[in-house]
Amino acid sequence: MLSIQNLQVNYGGIEAVKGISFDVPEGEIVTLIGANGAGKSSTLRAISGLVKPKGGKILFRGEDITGKNPTEIVSRGITLVPEGRRIFADLTVKENLRVGAYLRKDDISEDMEWVFSLFPRLREREWQAGGTLSGGEQQMLAVGRALMSRPKVMMMDEPSLGLAPLVVREIFRIIEEVNKKGVTILLIEQNANMALKTADMGYVMETGRVTMSGPGQELLANESVKAAYLGT
C-alpha cells in the first residue's frame, strides 16, 4: 500500500534519514523501532508531507506522492498521530474529534459513534476540555481524531511515550482493533517489545539507516535486537 524507496531527509547539513526502503502492505501493522534520533519521526514527517525529502520516492497505491503537501496526503487517506498527541487543550473532546474530520464533507456521525465505542472514556468526557484529560485519555483522543479522517493508513509516532504500562496495553489493544477494521498501521516506537509483539513486520533503524528487518516475532527472538532494544 505504501512503498518507501531510498528515502532521504536532511535538516540543513544533518542527514537524518540516509536512504531507507521498506513497504507497508495493505491490512498489516508495520513498525519502525530504534533509539532516540535514529530518524523514525523524520520518516513519518516525510510521508506526511511535513518535510520535503532530500531524495527517494514515496508511493501510495502505486502513485508517487513524494513532496505533496500535508492536506493532499490526508485527503488521500494517510493520517499521522503525532508524537506528544498535540490535541487542542481548549477545545472539548467532541470538538477535537471534529477537527480530525475537517476535510470531509459527508456525514461524520457514524465515525464519531465508532470512536466513542472504541473509547468509552471519551464518550463520558465528550464535553470536557482536551487539556484536562489524563495522558492516556489524550492519546486515545489523538487516535480518535486521526480515525475521524477515515484513514486507509494510520501512522503513529510513539503512542506509548510517557504512559503507564496498563494504559500502554490498552493503546496497543486499540491499535489491533483498528487494524482489524481494515486500517493499515505504520507505528514507530521506542517500546520495541510491545511494538514487535503487535507488528507483522518490523524494521530497526540506526542513525538514519535500516539495519535489520523481519517479522515482528522473529525480531523479538533475535539476539542483537534483544541486547540493544529489549533490555534482556
Instruction: Give the nearer residue to ligand ATP in terms of CB position, either 8 or 41.
Output: 41
We find the least distance from the C-beta atom of residue 16 to ligand ATP, in angstroms, to be: 3
Instruction: Give the nearer residue to ligand ATP in terms of CB position, either 41 or 79.
Output: 41
We find the least distance from the C-beta atom of residue 53 to ligand ATP, in angstroms, to be: 12
Q: Which residues contact 151 (CB under 8 A, 6 or more apart)?
A: 77, 78, 79, 183
- What whole-number distance in Å separates Cα of residue 193 and Cα of residue 226? 9
End-to-end Cα spacing for the chain: 34
Instruction: Give the nearer residue to ligand ATP in terms of CB position, either 55 or 108.
Output: 55
Instruction: Give the nearer residue to ligand ATP in terms of CB position, either 111 or 189.
Output: 189
Instruction: Give the nearer residue to ligand ATP in terms of CB position, either 40 or 68.
Output: 40
We find the least distance from the C-beta atom of residue 204 to ligand ATP, in angstroms, to be: 11
119 grid coordinates: 473509547
- What whole-number distance in Å separates Cα of residue 137 and Cα of residue 93? 10
Residues lying near ligand ATP in the complex (CB under 6 A): 11, 14, 16, 34, 36-42
39 close to 20: Cβ distance less than 8 angstroms: yes
CB-based burial label for 209 (10 Å; 0-12, 13-18, 19+): middle
**Dihedral sign of CA atoms 40, 41, 42, 48 in order:** positive
We find the least distance from the C-beta atom of residue 25 to ligand ATP, in angstroms, to be: 22
- What whole-number distance in Å separates Cα of residue 169 and Cα of residue 160? 9
We find the least distance from the C-beta atom of residue 179 to ligand ATP, in angstroms, to be: 22
